[in-house]
Structure 1
Amino acid sequence: MQDVAREAGVSPQTVSRVANGSDAVRPETRRRVQEAMEKLGYRPNYAARALKHGRFRDVGVVLFNMTNFGNIRILNGICAAANDNGYAITTLTIGQGRERTLSEAVNRMKQLPVDGMIVVLEQRIADFHDFQPPKDLPVVLITEAAADHCPTIDADQYGCSTAIVDYLLSKGHKTVYHIAGPSSSRAAESRARGWRDALSQLGLRIPPTYVGDWEADSGYQAGLSLARDPECTAVYAANDQMAYGAIMGLRAAGRRVPQDVSVIGVDNSLVGMVPRLDLTTMRMKFDTIGHEAFSMVMRQCEGDRVPVGVKTVIPCELVERGSVAEPPQVAILSGAQPIPSS
């Protein structure tokens, strides 16, 4: 800093103000200081800054899956919010080969220069209920279940399903079939529970559940099976990839979508990937979740209290396209020939 000050012809305090982004520096002076920093290869010492100010202005983000669409969008929201507030983000991925616990995630993150951390927790984890966050490292969980020990936030997984069932029933369908996500997923479990409860509360028949793995091929196989059931007129898949696969499977087996079978998904993840996308879906506001999660951890880093034990719920939004319609007026008799696809 002394070298930069001499090179730019300013005081060390002015160099400090420029390095910290202060507005109390004239533009011409700021330019001279920045040119001197570049010439001398100066970088702020973040360890020293943390000792002086008590913070690194960096938040850690732990993910157990970097390929999941929702996780990527959440991370995008976190990064955007961090950038807006002058923070950096440090990411840490804990894969299948390690013990997947919150304690292990915190222990690894505490070795890094971060002020707080966000855990994107989509799967079940062994120590969720027993975990106690460290007093010197605020933790926010993005997860379906509320926690008594950390602030939590997530999309309305349960309410998303009840809204989908209500929407399909309003079109005249007598019941709704479900293609669920993997049993290891908390989100998939809540979506299946919401679907089941919505039908049960109305006294409607609950069809067998088809369990997929979030990928389109599992939806395709479910679609082939569902095409053989003449009573199936409405299908709710727990994500858009499986919903799209189900449409392909139904059509391959001779059932028309939406004339014979309506299909709806969740997450709105195929926009920009599938041309002329016609899939009705329930959009999850993943970027908003990431933005709010960052706000929750930043407030704690800066000394505020954030309530625990009550989950912040981000509502979903129905996106109507062309894969849902009223059921056929004439019931398909068991054993009838499949209707040719259009």
Structure 2
Amino acid sequence: MQDVAKEAGVSPQTVSRVANGSDAVKPETRRRVEAAMDKLGYRPNYAARALKHGRFKDIGVVMFNIASFGNSRILKGIAMAANASGYAITIHMMGKDRDRSLAAAVERMKQLPVDGVIIVMEENLPDFNTFTPPRELPVVLISEDPSDTCATVDADQHGCSTAIVDYLLSKGHKTVYHIAGPSTSRAAQSRAQGWRDALEQLGLRIPPTYVGDWDADSGYQAGLALAHDPDCTAIYAANDQMAYGAILGLRAGGRRVPEDVSVVGVDDSLVGMVPRLSLTTMRMKFDEIGLEAFSMLERQCEGGHVPVGVKTVIPTELVERGSVRDIGA
């Protein structure tokens, strides 16, 4: 610290203020100190900072898959909110060769300099109903089901499915076919259950489920098969990639979209990737889920209270484009 102070032409106390994120430093002085830190390779001692202030200003994020559209956007939301509040993030991937449980993930994070943990519950974990977070390390779950011991936030996966089914039925369709995501996915399970419950509640025929893997190719194969089913006039795919693949498969099988078959997806992930995008979808606000998860964790890290046993729901939004036809008009 003395070397940085000498290089920047300031006192060691000023260097300490910059290292600890204090606002009591002029912007020009801050830039000079930071330039000196970079030149000399100085890094603040975060353990010492934690002893002084009681926090590391770092949060842990546990994920199963960082590459999927939804998870990457959730992570973006967390990172944006953390950066705005002066926090860093430490990411831990839930490996297939490890003890896959909430307790194991949190135990791993307890060994790292983090103030709290956000866990993205992409898959079912065996101790979801029994896990209790340690008192010294607050935990927020991004989960379809509310936890009795942790603050919880997510979109309404089940409700978005019932809304899509109701929307397609309002367009004159007699039933709705479903292309589901992989059986290991909690989101896919909830979306499939919402589709099934919506049809059952109205006493309508429940067609066979086609199971995909989130990728467009699996949607293509389902669409190609459904092109030969004359009763299929409406398809709800559990994400936009499978929905877009289904459209191509239907067309390859001689069916037109939306003239012969209407198709709806979920997530709105193809904007900017597919030109002249015509897919109607239910937009998932993944960024907002990440922002809210961080906000809930930060409140706990600073001594605030966040309710457990209930889920904070981030609403979805129907985006109508050109892949649905009103056959009753």
TM-score (norm 1): 0.92
Shift of 1:39: 4.1
Match of 1:336 in 2: none
Distance 1:302 1:77 in 2: 20
Q: Give the 3 Å change call, closer, same or farther, for CA 247–279 of structure 1 in structure 2.
A: same
Residue pairs, 1:255-334, within 5 angstroms = 255-327=255-327
> C-alpha distance in 2, partners of 1:103/1:34?
39
Separation in 2 of the partners of 1:207 and 1:8?
Answer: 71
Which residue identity does 1:217 align to in structure 2? Answer: D
CA RMSD, Structure 1 to Structure 2 (Å): 1.6
Closer/same/farther in 2, CA of residues 249 and 46 from structure 1, 3 Å limit: same
Total equivalences in the alignment = 329
SS in 2 for 1:129: coil
In structure 1, the partner of 2:43 is: 43
SS at match of 1:108: helix
8 Å Cα contact 1:260-1:327 kept in structure 2: no
State the alpha-carbon separation in 2 of the partners of residues 267 and 214 from structure 1: 11
The answer (yes or no) to whether the contact 2:181–2:238 under 8 Å persists in 1 is: yes
1:185 positional shift = 1.3
**Greater alpha carbon shift after TM alignment, 265-274 vs 32-41:** 32-41
Match of 1:78 in 2: 78
Q: Which runs of 5+ in 2 are unaligned?
A: none
Aligned partner of 1:120 in structure 2 is 120
Amino acid at match of 2:212: G
Pair 1:29–1:186, CA change in 2 (3 A): closer
C-alpha contact (below 8 Å) 1:122/1:144 kept by paired residues? no
Match of 2:154 in 1: 154
Query: Which residue in the other structure is 2:92 paired with?
Result: 92
Q: Does 1:197 align with 2:197?
A: yes
CA–CA separation in structure 2 for the residues paired with 1:35 and 1:76:
27
* SS of equivalent to 1:25: coil
Measured in 1, the distance between the counterparts of 2:35 and 2:247 equals 59
Residues 98-113 of structure 1: pairs in structure 2 closer than 5 A: 98-113=98-113
Q: Write the distance in 2 (CA, Å) between the matches of 1:324 and 1:69.
A: 24
Letter of the 2:114 partner, please give it.
Answer: V
1:46-71 superposed Cα distances (whole Å, 9 cap, x missing partner): 11101111100000001011222111
What is aligned with 1:337?
A: none
Structure 1: which 5+ residue stretches go unaligned?
Answer: 330-342
Given that 1:250 and 1:256 are in contact with CA atoms closer than 8 Å, whether structure 2 keeps it comes out as yes
The alpha carbon displacement at 1:267 in A equals 0.5
Paired residue type of 2:179: I
Shift of 1:12: 2.5
Q: Greater shift after overlay, 10-19 or 188-197?
A: 10-19
**Which position in structure 2 is the counterpart of 1:23?**
23
Instruction: Give the conservation status (yes or no) of the 8 Å contact 1:260–1:328.
Output: no
In structure 2, what is the Cα distance between the partners aligned to 1:282 and 1:229? 25
Deviation at 1:29, TM superposition (A): 3.6
| Structure-1 separation of matches of 2:145 and 2:318 | 23
Residues 249 and 111 of structure 1, relative CA distance in 2, 3 Å threshold: same
1:300 Cα deviation from its structure 2 partner: 0.6
Contact 1:61 1:90 in 2 (8 A): yes
Where do residues 141-220 of structure 1 align in structure 2 (5 Å cutoff)?
Answer: 141-220=141-220
2:146 corresponds to 1:136: no
Shift of 1:328: 8.2
> Is the aligned partner of 1:5 residue 2:26?
no
Deviation of the 1:210 alpha carbon: 1.3
Alpha carbons of 1:15 and 1:255: their partners in 2 closer, same or farther (altered >3 Å)? Answer: same
The 8 Å contact of residues 233 and 327 in structure 1, kept in 2 or not, is answered as: no
- What secondary structure is seen at the aligned counterpart in 1 of 2:288? helix
**Alpha carbons of 1:34 and 1:210: their partners in 2 closer, same or farther (altered >3 Å)?**
closer
User: Could you say if the C-alpha distance between residues 38 and 251 of structure 1 is closer, same or farther in structure 2, counting changes exceeding 3 Å?
Assistant: closer
Query: CA 1:170/1:45 → structure 2, altered by over 3 Å: closer, same or farther?
Result: same
Q: Residues 171 and 328 of structure 2 are in contact (CA less than 8 Å); yes or no, is this contact kept in structure 1?
A: no
The answer to whether the 8 A contact 2:20-2:49 is kept is no
What is the CA–CA distance in structure 1 between the aligned matches of 2:280 and 2:176, rounded to whole Å?
A: 15
Percent of pairs with identical residues: 77
Rg: which structure is higher?
Answer: 1
Give the Cα separation in 1 of the matches to 2:27 and 2:71.
40
Q: Residues 28 and 247 from structure 1, CA distance in 2 versus in 1: closer, same or farther, beyond 3 angstroms?
A: closer
Residue 122 to residue 252, structure 1, CA distance change in 2 (3 Å): same
User: In the aligned structure 1, how far is the partner of 2:45 from the partner of 2:249?
Assistant: 57
CA distance in 2: counterparts of 1:315 and 1:73, whole angstroms: 16
Alpha-carbon distance in 1 for matches of 2:130, 2:160: 29
Query: Which amino acid in 2 is paired with 1:324?
Result: V
In 1, distance between residues paired with 2:39 and 2:209? 65
Determine the C-alpha separation between the residues in 2 that align with 1:171 and 1:184: 32
CA 1:327–1:82: 2 relative to 1, 3 Å: same
Q: 2:265, 2:282 within 8 Å by CA — same for their partners in 1? A: yes
